[in-house]
Structure 1
Amino acid sequence: MKRLISISLRLIISGVLLFLLFREHDLIAEIAPRFREMLTNWHWVLGGLLFVFLCLLLTAVRWHILLRGFAPGLPFGVVMRAEVVSAFFNISSLGVVGGDAYKIMSLSRRLPGKTMPVGVSLVIDHLTGLVAVALLFAACIWAKASSWPQFGPNVRVLVTGYSMYVGGALVGLLLTWFSLRPDILTWGRRTFPRTFGLPMFETMIGKMAKMHGVFTLLWKRAFASMLVSIGMHVAFFMSFYCGLRAVGGQAPVLDVLTAMPIVDAAASLPLSVSGLGVRERTFEALLAGIAGVPDAVGVSASLAGWLFSLCWGLFGGLLFLRARSAEPAHQEAVAT
């Protein structure tokens, strides 16, 4: 019941936001002509699709670097396939199984008894992405520092809020790492024996110790995956730059790279279906305030960038359905 309510709310929020957007910027008169320009600017459409594929490829490389820390023989093709199929689950966020859940289940089948390391490696994978996007955003803001007085009040609020969010997340990450150290956990057991001796806390401490152990094993690989993450984020953000050019808009690449971390964070909030509506409104506000892009062009560009990811998500869905249809035949062959 709770899941049904959550899905219904997301559908309603996305529907309302898109309705308001298309009411403010006429779908037929302002948005549709921009999409027709994608036929003329087909090379930018191709570039957007290639950048999304590059993003998926680098995401798989990033996770594969971590997975090989405890599964050296794991083929890269298995991780790449899981990444592409997970894109299918990520484009809707309606199903019970999300992209991360699918990746954990898919790899756990290949690596029996290693569900915990697989899950922890995926957590580390996302954390390296967080550090990478924070570094990328900081570099872009530093490069745009001279233009700060020209930013509108809405842009300043979004940039300041995102900076506080990322900064707080990094501080929380450091505190978590410190608190999970074995000597800190041992001190907690010794200082608070009654509290830490409770079954609930004992189980929790055991899981945290395992997570810390996996991270300690993979920290060098985590650094390498962070470097890959920078390229991955640049590729994803460039797909939206291609979307902007595909619908006939123009803006400096640096402006798009500066806006996209905030846009991506807003779209990832569990408020709408695949970020629809939230992404477009944020992209519109930031590109208008930073680069002076007309509002209708910003909305069209955001939708175009999302369509590039949608195409690869649908391709991942075809791979998933093909694998599901092949399983019964394989099981019958084994039985005979």
Structure 2
Amino acid sequence: MNKKVKNAAVAAAKVLISAVILYVLLSKIDTSKVFSLLRNINLLCFFAASLLCVFSMLIISRRWQLFISDDIPLSKLFSLNMIGLFFNNVMPGTTGGDAVKLYYVYKKTGNGLIAAGSVFMDRYIGLANIIFIGFAAMLFGLNRLVGTGVEYFTPVVTAAFVVVSFIVFRFRLGGRFASVSKFYEYFHLYMRNLRAIALSFLLTTAAQLIAIGCAYLTAVGLGVKIDVLDLLIFIPVIILIASIPISISGLGLREGAFVILFKKAGIPEETAIAISFGWYLTTLAASLPGFIFYLYNKTDSKTNSGAKATGDERVIDNV
């Protein structure tokens, strides 16, 4: 199958899944209440949440810098992350944010291993942290999750992540190929750098706490009184559910998770969906500067040939 046709088919499938889930959710509620809440959202809270989202991207950029050469400054990585956020939110299913970041890093370093390896490590550590926090939240608030089905989902995802990681990296699948073998060497070099791993986990945790803060500000902006403890328990699990790559930017999955979990906290379905939509809109607003960065980087890439490769050992030394 032609690659473009395959990508289009995957994107169409994701759109369909999001549309079906949203249709099922919205057909069971009074949508006028949802839109009424969103229309009357406090703009100060909305923009404060969006600014917090932008700040979290700065933290995530620092995490990425741990796995890449210091030849690329934090400001550059921040702009690339903003571009990735823009593509993930505005044009999902066409060009993924990670693909955009990989392209620009490769143009800058001229080294495909550093580009792919750093993007993978950044994503892998981020996912591992989300799973860990989601599992911890489930254990801490198990009484608030019983009966939702999530109390089974999170352990299954956690176990699957551990098993797959062990199999892939312990047995080095595909390691007989030179490019894959070099990637494994890159991965194991970093996994032995406990300082980088520990700091990346701390930074990711900080970013997750900011995401919770964004959700809280969104709820406050909608005039909803919500227990912060509920957010601390539910949001990490919701992020984990929304990260399943079967929908467009988590649309549908996120709203369904909000409805199921916040119902346990006594919050009506209309209100839960309004918080979910509002939270997504703050992220969407935060991603818009990424388009400016995209235009700037597109122009800059035409006038600069990019730096030469720095080598794997130098990257590790810079951590």
TM-score range, shorter chain: 0.7 to 0.9
Matching residue of 1:297 = 271
Report the CA distance shift for 1:10/1:134 in structure 2 as closer, same or farther (over 3 A).
closer
Output the amino acid matched with 2:7: R
Report the CA distance shift for 1:218/1:116 in structure 2 as closer, same or farther (over 3 A).
farther
Q: Distance in 1 between matches of 2:273 and 2:192?
A: 44
Matching residue of 2:317 = none
Output the amino acid matched with 2:252: G
Matching residue of 1:144 = 141
Deviations along 1:292-334, one digit per CA (max 9) or x if unpaired, are 1111100000000000110122221232134435666x59xxx
Q: Distance in 2 between matches of 1:261 and 1:205?
A: 32
Q: 2:154 aligns with which of 138, 162, 170?
A: 162
Q: 1:103 aligns with which of 101, 120, 126?
A: 101
Matching residue of 1:246 = 221
Considering only aligned residues, what root-mean-square deviation do their CA atoms show, in Å? 2.6
Deviation (angstroms), 1:219: 4.5
Matching residue of 1:221 = 196
TM-score in terms of structure 1 length = 0.79
Q: Does residue 1:27 correspond to 2:31, yes or no?
A: yes
User: After alignment, is 49-58 or 79-88 more displaced?
Assistant: 49-58
TM-score in terms of structure 2 length = 0.83
Deviation (angstroms), 1:142: 4.2
Q: Distance in 2 between matches of 1:216 and 1:6?
A: 33
Percent identity reads 20
Deviation (angstroms), 1:108: 1.3
Deviation (angstroms), 1:14: 2.2
Output the amino acid matched with 1:33: S
Q: Distance in 2 between matches of 1:210 and 1:97?
A: 28
Q: Where do 1:271-310 residues align within 5 Å?
A: 271-289=246-264, 291-310=265-284
Q: Where do 1:1-336 residues align within 5 Å?
A: 1-28=5-32, 30-38=33-41, 41-67=42-68, 71-92=69-90, 94-112=92-110, 114-145=111-142, 148=143, 151-153=145-147, 155=148, 157-180=149-172, 201-203=176-178, 206-216=181-191, 218-289=193-264, 291-324=265-298, 330=303
Report the CA distance shift for 1:110/1:265 in structure 2 as closer, same or farther (over 3 A).
same
Deviations along 1:250-296, one digit per CA (max 9) or x if unpaired, are 2222211211222222222232221212211111111112x211111
Deviation (angstroms), 1:8: 2.0
In structure 2, list runs of 5 or more residues that go unmatched: 305-319
The higher radius of gyration belongs to 1
Which SS does the other structure have where 2:45 is aligned?
Answer: helix
Q: Distance in 2 between matches of 1:144 and 1:62?
A: 28
Which SS does the other structure have where 1:72 is aligned?
Answer: coil
Q: Distance in 2 between matches of 1:151 and 1:209?
A: 38
Which SS does the other structure have where 1:66 is aligned?
Answer: coil
- Contact persistence 2:82–2:287 (CA under 8 A): yes
Output the amino acid matched with 1:160: Y
- Contact persistence 2:137–2:236 (CA under 8 A): no
Q: Distance in 2 between matches of 1:204 and 1:84?
A: 29
Give aligned pairs, total: 300
Deviation (angstroms), 1:95: 4.5
- List, as ranges, runs of 4+ consecutive aligned residues in structure 1 with deviation greater than 6 Å: none
In structure 1, list runs of 5 or more residues that go unmatched: 186-195, 332-336
Which SS does the other structure have where 2:152 is aligned?
Answer: helix
Q: Distance in 2 between matches of 1:259 and 1:212?
A: 32
Output the amino acid matched with 1:241: Y
Deviation (angstroms), 1:177: 4.0
- Contact persistence 1:11–1:272 (CA under 8 A): yes
Report the CA distance shift for 1:174/1:227 in structure 2 as closer, same or farther (over 3 A).
farther
Report the CA distance shift for 1:134/1:23 in structure 2 as closer, same or farther (over 3 A).
closer
Q: Distance in 2 between matches of 1:211 and 1:277?
A: 36
Deviations along 1:109-130, one digit per CA (max 9) or x if unpaired, are 1112x22122112222122223
